[in-house]
Amino acid sequence: MKKISKPFLPIYILTLLAIGIFIVNCKFSFADNKKPEKDSITFGAEKKPSIKKPDQFESFRNVFADIADQVIPTVVSVTSTKIDTIIYRDPFHQFFWGSPFEEFFGRPRQQQEEPEERQEERRTSGVGSGVIVSKDGYILTNYHVVGDADEITVETYNEREFEAEIVGVDSLSDVAGIKIREKVNDLPVAYLGDSDKLRPGDWVMAVGNPFNLSSTVTTGIVSALGRHQSGISMYQNFIQTDAAINPGNSGGALVNIEGELIGINTMIYTRSGGYMGIGFAIPINMARRIMEQLIYKGSVSRGWLGVQISDIDHAMKEALGLKTRKGVLINDVFNGQPAQKAGIKTGDVILTIDGIETKDANSLRNTVASITPGKKVPVEIIRNGKKMTLDVTLASRDEKEIEKLSSKEKETEESKPAEVDVTKKVGFKVGNLSKELRDRLGLDAKEKGIVVLDISPSSWAARKGLRKYDIIKKVKVQNNDFVMVDDVKVFKKVVSRAKSNDSILLYVERERNSFFIAFKVE
């Protein structure tokens, strides 16, 4: 075998590499020209999956599609536009009028003219949904969709566009009624169901225009009923659902498996701004009642009992000697109002009104509001452990009058200054209302009660909401009656009866609002 000399070795290796690269390129370039013949390849399996399905499935598979066919035409897109007039003035006018060097060279600057004003319309639009409830163009939607609108445009599923006007709005329930201005009589109409028949777990479908995506359908179930959010001054009795609801769904339809309208989608719980599995709808029975009043009368009238109320927690239940937490505690009764005239007193627990059970404060509020003002209704209460029924003639709710009643001053007698430390037993220190305390708290010279001077943050009373400078009016120890407290000595005597783990109920006033607080003895 002939040996290759060292000087020629690199050239030999490079030559072999070049030949190899040439062969590879040729191979792939030839392969690229070889394409398979049309229809020579079979794509996908020859047989569809063999899946056993129960007979019920065949009848269920098209249910939601059939519901959508019926409901989508009744849901419209609602575009509300707010128009503001903006006035502009040139902020730099004074800097560019005449020459800036005129005064420097001793020549007076030219007399300035007032800058010219310029007006411009600013239009802000938002998109929501609505449900057609009559052939001649009445549409049910949310107050927050159209409440501030100067112009309203409605677009149907088949791209018909109409101008609409507000018939009436109710901010307390977030319900609004609008009507198409053009004369129409052929619109598809939603069938109004009965939301009182709903149960948690029922199938539902939400139809609307989330993020301006028209005629969107989502499905889910009824997650809960009677939902409400604390801290919001609204009449709330929401249907909770996990059907996807997003911004733009507001005012749209929530229907049951029969295609019946059972709710108006109105709000979502979210931390991201979008769907998180919790949406809320106004029950159609509530929305319809309000809508009819808006259409026929232009306003909503609600029953008024004339009380301040609160829910009953476990400590209150024990202090009041109740068997269950069902019922609503009366915190205060307004003088001259229906409850006071009928004999209802502070500390009473309402069980039913007009035969309807009142499980909590929200349900009582909604029930009273739904009763026609002027109607005489039976109210079942518990007072000092005994049941009784009183007849109450409800008045009409007047927001301005309620505000006056809430801010009224109460006439009471002055108490002498004194202090009693009962921190070890109840977790706070109390004192009589001295002149200095009255002045500091803005109280009348005749105000009755004792004041919380200091409270341990870790005490049961603090955890239940008692604060420094709260005014204690009454006190009740478990298995005992209410006692008015106008002196700390009385309070100390009553509290001394309490044993470890007993419940104590306080009737408290804070910033002219009265309520109950219950807690366990330390």
Catalytic (active site) residue 144: yes
Angle at 350 between CA 494 and CA 503, to 5 degrees: 30
- Backbone torsions φ then ψ of 413, nearest 5 degrees: -100, 155
Dihedral of alpha carbons 193, 198, 204, 210, sign: positive
Does residue 147 carry a pLDDT above 70? yes
| 252-268 pLDDT, tens digit each | 999 999 999 999 999 88
Contact at 8 Å (CB) between 454 and 429? yes
Residue 121 has pLDDT above 90, yes or no: no
Separation CA 29–CA 36 (nearest Å) = 16
From 77, 129, 144, 486, active-site residue: 144
- Kind of pairing between the strands at 161-170 and 175-180: antiparallel
φ, ψ at 25 (rounded to 5°): -60, -40
Residue 141 or residue 522, greater confidence: 141
Number of Cβ within 10 Å of residue 463's Cβ equals 12
Tell me the average pLDDT of the chain.
83
Band of pLDDT at residue 422, cut at 50, 70 and 90: low
| pLDDT for residue 319 | 78
- Residue 229 has a pLDDT of 73
Residues 192-238: tens digit of each pLDDT: 999 999 999 999 999 999 888 888 999 999 999 988 876 555 688 89
Assess whether 174 carries a catalytic annotation: yes
- CA–CA separation, 349 and 381 (whole Å): 5
Q: Is 250 a catalytic residue?
A: yes
pLDDT at 276: 83
pLDDT in tens, 91-101: 555 555 555 55
Q: Which one is catalytic: 129, 214, 250, 363?
A: 250
Predicted pLDDT at 418: 42
Top pLDDT among 511 and 344 is at 344
Given this model, what pLDDT does residue 411 score? Answer: 35
Q: Which domains does the chain have, with CATH numbers?
A: 195-296 (2.40.10.10), 307-406 (2.30.42.10), 419-520 (2.30.42.10)
* pLDDT of res. 414: 35
Which of 342, 317, 345, 314 minimizes the C-alpha distance to 331?
Answer: 345
Q: Which of 233-242, 394-403, 485-494 has the least mean pLDDT?
A: 394-403
13 or 520: which leads in pLDDT:
520
Is pLDDT of 437 > 70?
Answer: yes
Q: Which of 170, 173, 174, 470 is catalytic?
A: 174
- The model's pTM is 0.68
